[in-house]
Amino acid sequence: MSDDTFPGWHGTTILAVRKGGEVVVAGDGQVSLGNTVIKGTARKVRRLSPGGRDVVCGFAGSTADAFTLLERLEKKLEAAPGQLARACVDLAKDWRMDKYLRNLEAMLIVTDGRDLFVITGAGDVLEPEHDVAAIGSGGNFALAAARGLMHADLPAEDIARKAMAIAADICVYTNGNLTVETIKV
């Protein structure tokens, strides 16, 4: 989207950490417009339960676009129960090929506890290395911090919370108001 039409929204850090038989997805609550914080308590991590099986999703980007994608993902999961990889690939294909969907501005981190994926509008369905994934404005800060903490004797949630705190200290588009969801492997 061109700079003329996009309002300059910033602000999301989503982090997923897989360790010790669980995956933790954490997201901050800040939404900024330019250099102004519009909201500090947004909830960008959601739990879906298509077919009774839990899936945790975190999103960065436009909220309306992300909700559209989450609805589509839920339908894909209902059509292919227990097949997160297939549902994610099908979503990414639709996202890239559909005339309407291809304009959506968002990224997703998705996990069912076994699998962990980053999904983009470019058609990417990526499995992260080192059991850590991050997206959003402060994603690289949170990713680096979490990777540095992975060898510590800490559970996944503590690593995620510490890494998010580091990202919030560095990235002006990230705050410390966290939503944290845990899913067992």
Residue 125 CB coordination number (10 Å): 21
Active-site residue, 179 included: no
Put residue 21 in one of left, alpha, beta given phi > 0 → left and psi -120 to 50 → alpha: left
- Over the Cα atoms of the chain, what is R_g? 16
Nearest to 48 by CA among 12, 101, 18, 88: 88
Catalytic residue among 12, 13, 111, 174: 12
The residue with tokens 């947004």 is: 42
Tell me the two tokens of residue 39. 């909201």
Q: Are 54 and 112 in contact (CB under 8 A)?
A: yes
CB crowding 135-167: b at 16 or more within 10 Å, else e: bbbbbebbbbbbbebbeeebbbbebbbbbbbbb
Name the residues annotated as catalytic. 12
